[in-house]
């Protein structure tokens, strides 16, 4: 798998099931983030994008939002040595303008220090929305290339992390089966995997198992092999003849 994207869902519900505040789930979820990032790096995954905070998450309780901000800052400080050691290229996609100044400095410093690293391309989607990214990319193209025709290649180059490429596998934890405005353009042909496991309980073993199972799927990108096409046509023809013997095929 070249690019894996994960919607880290179920933190709040995980905490509520244990009679704890929702923020406790986010705190425990940071441990899972560290484990999965390390596993992706060890497995030689080329790019990993984690959905940390969406444009819609601003409607959540103020305490929960502020906790997510603090956890991002804590992650940047604690995981910085490991990111540097493993030559991971770190990036935030989305809008960081509303983050505290100190956190923004940590982000910019780490992005700059790792921009030429050859290892895992690790992107955190923070204050991110797929529709917003598409609109920003289109407006950027209009501004840079007035009067020119927009092509898929030119458009992709203007996305937040074009170096990560299209998503091969999109995983969502927590049981919900939707992509929630995440990497809409990049996930056009992604394999989708939904697990009931809530993010704090998600572990490296399940992560590896999902990758192995998803790798067995045949990715056709809208096409079929000629042999498969003939086989399906022959099967359909035989079925129709048995149901409607007077029909000439």
pLDDT one-digit tens code per residue, 154-205: 999 999 999 999 999 999 999 999 999 999 999 999 999 999 999 999 999 9
- Between CA 197 and CA 13 the distance in angstroms is 11
How many other C-beta atoms are found inside a 10 Å radius of the C-beta of residue 181?
A: 16
Position with higher pLDDT, 28 vs 236: 28
In the chain, the percentage of residues whose pLDDT exceeds 70 is 88
Instruction: Answer yes or no: is pLDDT of 139 > 60.
Output: yes
Rounded to the nearest angstrom, the gap between the alpha carbon of residue 60 and the centroid of all alpha carbons in its chain is 21
* Mean per-residue pLDDT, 48-67: 84
Confidence class for position 248, pLDDT limits 50, 70, 90: very low
Is the model's pLDDT at 244 over the cut of 70?
no
Residue 219 has pLDDT above 80, yes or no: no
Q: Which residues pair with 43 in a beta bridge?
A: none
Cα–Cα distance for residue pair 206/4, rounded to 1 Å: 14
pLDDT surpasses 50 at 133: yes
The token duo for 196 is 């009931």
Catalytic residue among 2, 9, 42, 95: 9
For residue 227, is pLDDT > 90?
no
Write the burial class of residue 220 (CB in 10 Å: 0-12 exposed, 13-18 middle, 19+ buried): exposed
Q: Mean pLDDT over residues 212-232, rounded?
A: 66
HSE-CB at 10 with a 13 A cutoff on CA atoms is 23
Within the chain, how many helices (H) and strands (E) appear?
A: 8, 6
Q: Is 2 a catalytic residue?
A: no
Q: Closest Cα partner for 49 from 179, 157, 214?
A: 179
| pLDDT over 80 (residue 220) | no
Mean pLDDT of 92-108: 93
Q: What is the pLDDT of residue 198?
A: 98
The whole-angstrom separation of Cα 27 and Cα 243 is 59
Residue of 133, 123, 121, 111 whose CA lies nearest to 182: 133
- The secondary structure of residue 34, as a DSSP letter, is H
Closest CA to 125 of 207, 56, 77, 196: 56
**At CA 92, angle to CA 88 and CA 98, rounded to 5?**
150
pLDDT bracket for residue 53 (50, 70, 90): confident
pLDDT of residue 224: 56
E-assigned strands of the chain? 3-7, 47-54, 89-94, 121-128, 169-172, 191-194
Q: Which of 2, 42, 57, 139 is catalytic?
A: 57
Reply yes or no on whether the pLDDT at 249 is more than 50. Answer: no
Q: Let me know if 127 is a catalytic residue.
A: no
User: Which segment of 14-18, 53-57, 60-64, 70-74 scores lowest on mean pLDDT?
Assistant: 53-57
């Amino acid at each position: 798998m070249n690019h894996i994207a994960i919607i880290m869902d179920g933190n709040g519900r995980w905490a509520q099931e244990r009679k704890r505040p929702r923020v406790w789930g986010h705190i425990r979820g940071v441990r899972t983030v560290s484990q999965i990032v390390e596993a992706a790096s060890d497995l030689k995954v080329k790019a990993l994008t984690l959905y940390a905070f969406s444009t819609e998450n601003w409607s959540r309780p103020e305490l929960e939002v502020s906790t997510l901000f603090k956890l991002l800052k804590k992650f940047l400080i604690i995981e910085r040595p490991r990111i540097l050691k493993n030559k991971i290229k770190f990036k935030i996609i989305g809008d960081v303008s509303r983050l505290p100044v100190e956190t923004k400095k940590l982000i910019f410093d780490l992005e700059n220090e790792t921009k030429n690293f050859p290892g895992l391309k690790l992107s955190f989607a923070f204050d991110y929305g797929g529709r917003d990214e598409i609109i920003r990319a289109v407006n950027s193209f209009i501004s840079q290339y007035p009067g020119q025709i927009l092509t898929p290649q030119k458009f992709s180059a203007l996305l937040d992390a074009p170096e990560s490429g299209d998503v091969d596998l999109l995983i969502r934890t927590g049981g919900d089966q939707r992509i929630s405005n995440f990497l809409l353009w990049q996930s056009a042909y992604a394999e989708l995997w939904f697990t009931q496991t809530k993010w704090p309980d998600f572990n490296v073993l399940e992560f590896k198992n999902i990758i192995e199972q998803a790798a067995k799927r045949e990715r056709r990108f809208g096409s079929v092999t000629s042999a498969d096409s003939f086989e399906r046509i022959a099967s359909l023809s035989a079925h129709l003849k048995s149901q409607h013997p007077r029909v000439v095929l």
